[in-house]
Structure 1
Amino acid sequence: MNQNKKLLIIGFVWPEPNSSAAGGRMMQLISIFKENGFDITFASPALDSDFMVDLSKFRVEKKSIELNNSNFDDFIIELNPDVVLFDRFMIEEQFGWRVAENCPKAVRLLDTEDLHCLRTARQKAFKENRSFELIDLLSEEVAKREIASILRCDLSYIISEFEMKVLKDVFKIDSGLLQYLPFLVEEMSEEDLLKLPSFEDRQYFVFIGNFLHEPNWNTVQYLKESIWPLIKKQFPEAVLEVYGAYPSQKVLQLHQPKNGFFIMGRAEDANEIVKKARVVLAPIRFGAGLKGKLLEAMQCGTASVTTTIGSEAMHASLPWNGFVTDDVEEFAKNAISLYHDKNLWEQAQKKGIAIVNECYQKEKYSERLITEVNSLLNDSESHRLHNFMGSLLQHHTLKSTKYMAKWIEAKNKNL
Structure 2
Amino acid sequence: MATPVSIIVLCYNKVAYTKQCLRALYANTDTSRFELIVVDNASSDSTPDMLAEFAASHPNVKVIRNEENLGFVGGNNCALGSVEGEYVIFLNNDTEVQPGWLPPLVETMAEPGAGAAGCKLVYPDGTLQEAGGIIYSDATGNNFGKFDNPNHPEYCSFREVDYCSGAALMVRTDLFRELGGFDARYQPAYYEDTDLCFTVREKGLKVFYEPRSVVVHHEGKTAGTDVTKGFKRFQEINREKFIEKWAAELRKQPAPGPKTGANVRALIDRRFRGKPQVLAAADEPPQYDRQGGALRFYHFLQYLVESGHQVTYLARNVTERPPDVSLVPYVERLRRMGVVVHGLNAFQPSKMDVSQPLPPIQRVLTGHDFEAALLFSHREGGFVLNHIKALGLRMRIFMDSVDLHFLRKGRECRRSGGSPSRWVDYAEGKAQELATYRQTDCVFTATAEESDFLQRGLGIRQAAYVPDTFPLSRDVPGFDEREGLVFLAGFRHAPNLDAAMYLMSEILPHIRKELGDVPLYLVGDGPPDSLKKLADEHTVITGWVPKLEPYLSKMRVGLVPINYGAGIKGKLCRAMGYGTPNVSTTVGAEGIGLTHEKNVLLADDPASFAKAIARLYNDRELWERLSRNGYEHIRERHSRESVSRILLSTMFPTETIAEFRQVRDMRFFDLVAGGYVRLESGRQAEAQSEFRKVIELYPDAGEGYIGLARAYLAQGKAREAQATIARTPESETGRQEFTITQARCLLAFGRKGIALKLLNDLASRDLFDVFFMEELGTLQFAAGGREEAQQSLERALTLENDMSTRVRLRTALAEVKVALGDVHGALEQLSAVSQMYIDINELQGFHALDVKMGELIAQALPPAAELAQPTPEELRDLAPVLRLTGMRVGRLGPISSREYHLHRARPEAVPDWLAEVFGALDGLARRSAGQGNVQVRTF
TM-score of Structure 1 vs Structure 2, range by shorter chain: 0.7 to 0.9
Give the SS at the match of 2:370. Answer: coil
User: Which residue number in structure 2 is paired with residue 251 of structure 1?
Assistant: 531
- After superposition, residues 208-219 of structure 1 pair within 5 angstroms as 208-219=488-499
1:19 aligns with 2:290: yes
Q: Choose which of 540, 548, 555 in structure 2 pairs with 1:270.
A: 548
- After superposition, residues 101-120 of structure 1 pair within 5 angstroms as 101-102=390-391, 104-120=393-409
Query: Aligned Cα RMSD in Å?
Result: 2.9
- Using the TM superposition, give the Cα deviation of residue 55 of structure 1 relative to its aligned residue in structure 2, in angstroms: 1.2
Q: Choose which of 308, 312, 316 in structure 2 pairs with 1:45.
A: 316
Higher relative contact order (CA 8 A, sep 6+): 1
Letter in structure 2 aligned against 1:102: L
- After superposition, residues 331-346 of structure 1 pair within 5 angstroms as 331-346=609-624
The separation in 1 between residues aligned to 2:599 and 2:434, in whole angstroms, is: 34
Deviates more, 1:14-23 or 1:319-328: 319-328
- Using the TM superposition, give the Cα deviation of residue 185 of structure 1 relative to its aligned residue in structure 2, in angstroms: 4.3
Contact 2:576 2:627 (C-alpha < 8 Å) held by counterparts:
yes
Deviates more, 1:277-286 or 1:364-373: 364-373
Give the SS at the match of 2:459. Answer: coil
1:59 aligns with 2:346: no
Give the SS at the match of 2:479. Answer: coil
Contact 2:470 2:573 (C-alpha < 8 Å) held by counterparts:
no
Give the SS at the match of 1:281. Answer: strand
- After superposition, residues 8-407 of structure 1 pair within 5 angstroms as 8-48=279-319, 49-50=325-326, 53=330, 54-65=333-344, 70-102=359-391, 104-128=393-417, 140-174=427-461, 177-185=462-470, 195-257=475-537, 260-315=538-593, 320-374=598-652, 378=667, 380=670
Deviates more, 1:15-24 or 1:288-297: 15-24
User: Which residue number in structure 2 is paired with residue 398 of structure 1?
Assistant: none
Q: Tell me the alpha carbon deviations over residues 180-207 of structure 1, each in whole angstroms, 9 at most, x when there is no partner.
A: 1111346x6xxx66x2222222111011
Q: Tell me the alpha carbon deviations over residues 2-36 of structure 1, each in whole angstroms, 9 at most, x when there is no partner.
A: 62421111113221111121121012101221122
The separation in 2 between residues aligned to 1:81 and 1:197, in whole angstroms, is: 46
- Using the TM superposition, give the Cα deviation of residue 319 of structure 1 relative to its aligned residue in structure 2, in angstroms: 5.3
Contact 2:410 2:426 (C-alpha < 8 Å) held by counterparts:
no
Cα 1:47–1:62 shift into 2, 3 Å: closer
Give the SS at the match of 1:173. Answer: coil
- TM-score (norm: length of structure 1): 0.82
- Using the TM superposition, give the Cα deviation of residue 138 of structure 1 relative to its aligned residue in structure 2, in angstroms: 12
Give the SS at the match of 2:367. Answer: helix
Give the SS at the match of 1:269. Answer: coil
- TM-score (norm: length of structure 2): 0.37
Deviates more, 1:75-84 or 1:21-30: 75-84
- Using the TM superposition, give the Cα deviation of residue 66 of structure 1 relative to its aligned residue in structure 2, in angstroms: 5.1
Cα 1:358–1:284 shift into 2, 3 Å: same
Contact 2:300 2:647 (C-alpha < 8 Å) held by counterparts:
no
Which runs of no fewer than 5 residues in structure 1 stay unpaired? 131-135, 386-415
Letter in structure 2 aligned against 1:56: R
Number of residue pairs aligned between Structure 1 and Structure 2: 372
Contact 1:15 1:24 (C-alpha < 8 Å) held by counterparts:
yes
The separation in 2 between residues aligned to 1:29 and 1:317, in whole angstroms, is: 28
The separation in 1 between residues aligned to 2:517 and 2:574, in whole angstroms, is: 26
Contact 1:167 1:173 (C-alpha < 8 Å) held by counterparts:
yes
Cα 1:50–1:320 shift into 2, 3 Å: farther
Contact 1:117 1:137 (C-alpha < 8 Å) held by counterparts:
no
Contact 1:19 1:245 (C-alpha < 8 Å) held by counterparts:
yes
Contact 2:490 2:526 (C-alpha < 8 Å) held by counterparts:
yes
User: Which residue number in structure 2 is paired with residue 403 of structure 1?
Assistant: none
- Using the TM superposition, give the Cα deviation of residue 311 of structure 1 relative to its aligned residue in structure 2, in angstroms: 0.5
Cα 1:50–1:253 shift into 2, 3 Å: farther
The separation in 2 between residues aligned to 1:345 and 1:94, in whole angstroms, is: 47
Cα 1:283–1:73 shift into 2, 3 Å: same
- Using the TM superposition, give the Cα deviation of residue 339 of structure 1 relative to its aligned residue in structure 2, in angstroms: 1.2
- Using the TM superposition, give the Cα deviation of residue 101 of structure 1 relative to its aligned residue in structure 2, in angstroms: 3.3
Deviates more, 1:324-333 or 1:313-322: 313-322
Give the SS at the match of 2:480. Answer: coil
Which runs of no fewer than 5 residues in structure 2 stay unpaired? 1-269, 320-324, 347-357, 654-662, 676-939
